[in-house]
Chains A and B, each alone.
Chain A
């Protein structure tokens, strides 16, 4: 167990390092950072000074080590566009994105699993067919179309919900939350739903197909032969086995929820990280892009590590070392 976790942490660190190298490459080699930062009016001397100040005269490996060391302490340099420290910019935007992503992922997980179970309970029933058809539509519709349709329905036609922004936020320490005001909550509903819809539909289908597969297996048949009641077979034995692959997919997909949040944040002008990233691409604000890349890869690695640990918790077969497993020839 410990060796497994150590191995995963090691692999995760490697992943983050590789991404950091790409980010560093962006910063160092895409365009000239000095030109971008000093502006057109700066003299040659100013530029030399800035070059020295940024450490650009050192060798590349030294620069990379410095980049990683700075990044580890949260220092990603100065934004070209606003001239403020990138870490401050990120800190302002993180709460908005995290609230959106976690609400979206939570909705997808909760409703996706529930609908999948409901469909699998009576695979040939009318409810099951309705859910599966609906989920197919959910998988097929692109996120931005969902978002625009929601805006048209709830913001333009019905005028129930705001069409963009975060509404009023409350500052708690460094965290600005939209969860404590009614306008903040109302603003959150549509973006979160838009973000969740694809994942929700996909999870519904996944849970359904895993569940129907598991219910065909020998051990479920043996549960029936043992005379266990239907509920216990379905939820205690069937669902637990069916959720194993779901955990993997959910872990991988929280990553893609972050990726899709770029579209959602654009459609709803949600002041989150992704919007910052999209803007920074538009303005060639390379320090922000680099920081975003590193941050997102770090989150990915963290989530995957969590998934591995959850695996350990739910699958006893992983808990014993492979050497102890019976051999097959």
Chain B
């Protein structure tokens, strides 16, 4: 069997051979991790990338010995610097976790115990594994907090987790992972829950600390940008298997496996704008319905007969390996080799008339001014009101995509809610087609698509009723016309009329977001507000949804207000952009100008923080590859 080893001949810190994880399912056991092998050497970062359900987090849990029963490891060997750790007892594993293997989890908001100070949690972890007295441990904890870049670490020791921001908490989690000088760190989506600018800091901090200490890192993420920035090698997982593994530079620039190619191509880039994103049709198969042969073959454009029959082995090429029956294609990735498919609309139509559809005029929203007299009396010292949105003015033209961009807490969602009349403005006015929104009662002229497709659909309603609701409440249509309209719209968003009788839980995240879009479209609105519509979705599904929104916009002449923190997505979607910070708009302009000539320092900082795959790959290029890259970044 092929064991993917790093290039240099160093003994691996972590080596995994033929790992297999089994979970009991309703119809027999399922295998979230199937026979995977890889290794990591000291000071190296292996990125494990894949979409949800690929088995990447499960692999990390298996190495940590943290697979919750009834799941279990049913095959394979895991070695940590030569010692087998897959067959150890729980007590023996305790001595390894936190000591020889450090862990970083996704959400720093929930990873720390809220009832203990940051310091006491670090000291506790040190004392559990090392023979130090409390004083030495305390000293060590302070120096750790200093090394992860927390200002005035001695005071931070006494803070409770809720007193720190998300980025600071993730720094604390990194300190916890490193506090006993581990040989290996497993970082499971360490930046996913963070803001863009914090993400970049955390990634470089983690990378620097681990390189400096010679720690091997297994970096599990769904974000190719993070992989490009932080990893030395990457393993791409699909349906429980590694389909491709190799150096980041090779794999991202010249992906050999069709899945990796599709994945890399479906990522929107900050550096350039394409008419539409490449999209892989369908979604990852559920665990109990993994296709035979190569699990990717039903979605693969290049599939041949052999793909559905036999499992392709990992075949080595120079610097990596991929599991595909097709001959290894060495041609570098570019847009021509994989032409985007739904190219049935122009790349960008001109905005015909410049009449503003929405005018936002000196709008502010203040929270917290309506507290009771007693709390006002007793809390006179505190600053009082929270200016969520502060004196904001802009307009949205008919037919354009206007993007509000900012980090969490900047007020962009509050502003969007005021535009559709869900929040009254504290001062100022929003006009829709020249009419004050505050006075409008039935608002079928604007609709919203929300971030979380799991929370935004009523789980007890059939899809038909969910989609038909806006029509019914606004009385646009009646009787049999409603049914026809709903079926029509469902087909427009890429679902079928039969789906109308199903319930939301029968659909994947991407399909649910299509239902949300159908619901928004059905009452023929003029404006659709999309509040982070793809941030809960996988990359390949995100590409499908973004393409869908663009083609629907073209077909129906919709105006889109697009709210996002993801600059690459905004780059792909928006005509004009407003950048928000602390409730104010710091910069407004054409998308192209903002991305190429940002005027405000905050905009520049945001742009600099976005992990750009092309740039990162170029930076990682071995010297002899440098010239060829010009073609890519152009």
Q: Which residues of A contact B (CB under 8 A)?
A: 2-3, 6-7, 10, 217-219, 221-230, 232, 237, 240-241, 314-317, 320-321, 323-329
Contacts and interface: CB of A to CB of B under 8 A. Distances in A.
Contacts of A228: 94, 98, 124-125, 128
B105 A227 contact: no
B103 A226 contact: yes
Nearest to A224: B66
Nearest to A240: B115
A227 B85 CA distance: 14
Nearest to B117: A316
B374 A324 contact: no
Q: A2, A217, A225, A326 — which one has the most chain B CB atoms within 10 A of its CB?
A: A225
A219 B113 contact: yes
B155 interface: no
Contacts of B408: 328-329
A321 B381 CA distance: 11
Interface in B144-174: 160, 162-166, 173
B107 interface: yes
Contacts of A3: 374-375, 378-379
A320 B164 CA distance: 12
12 contacts: A6-B374, A219-B112, A221-B66, A226-B97, A226-B98, A226-B124, A226-B176, A237-B116, A315-B114, A316-B160, A325-B163, A326-B165
Interface stretch (B343-351, B409-417, B438-446, B465-473): B409-417
Contacts of B110: 217-219
B129 interface: yes
A227 B66 CA distance: 11
Contacts of A7: 374-375, 378
Given A218-B110, A222-B105, A325 B383 contact: no
B219 to A, nearest CB: 15
B66 A225 contact: yes
The 10 tightest CB contacts between A and B, nearest first, are: A227-B98, A3-B378, A225-B103, A329-B409, A227-B97, A218-B110, A226-B98, A316-B160, A323-B382, A222-B111
Given A241-B113, A329-B388, 12 more contacts: A219-B110, A222-B103, A225-B98, A227-B96, A227-B97, A227-B98, A227-B129, A228-B125, A315-B115, A317-B114, A324-B163, A326-B162
A212 to B, nearest CB: 12
B105 A226 contact: no
A15 B540 CA distance: 58
B419 to A, nearest CB: 15
B12 to A, nearest CB: 21
Contact of B383 (A224, A315, A317, A323): A323
B292 interface: no
Contacts of B114: 219, 241, 315-317
Nearest to B374: A7
A321 B379 CA distance: 9
B378 A218 contact: no
Contacts of A241: 113-115
Contacts, number: 112
Contact of A328 (B91, B124, B409): B409
B309 to A, nearest CB: 40
Contacts of A225: 64, 66, 97-98, 102-103, 105
B95 interface: yes
Contact of B125 (A221, A227, A327): A227
A223 B99 CA distance: 12
Q: A6, A321, A329 — which one has the most chain B CB atoms within 10 A of its CB?
A: A329
A218 B91 CA distance: 20
Contact of B99 (A227, A229, A316): A227
A223 B112 CA distance: 8
A250 to B, nearest CB: 18
Contacts of B95: 227
A61 B265 CA distance: 79
A223 B113 contact: yes
A6 B373 CA distance: 13
B128 A219 contact: no
Contacts of A219: 110-114
A218 B124 CA distance: 18
B386 interface: yes
Nearest to B388: A329
Nearest to A6: B378
Nearest to B110: A218
Contact of A221 (B91, B105, B378, B414): B105
Contacts of B116: 237
Contact of B414 (A224, A227, A316, A329): A329
Nearest to A219: B113
Given A2-B378, A7-B378, A327-B386, A227 B112 contact: no
A132 B503 CA distance: 35
B374 A10 contact: yes
Nearest to A318: B162
Contacts of B111: 218-219, 222
B66 A237 contact: no
A48 B98 CA distance: 85
Contacts of A223: 113
A4 B573 CA distance: 48
A237 B112 CA distance: 10
Interface string B505-530: 00000000000000000000000000
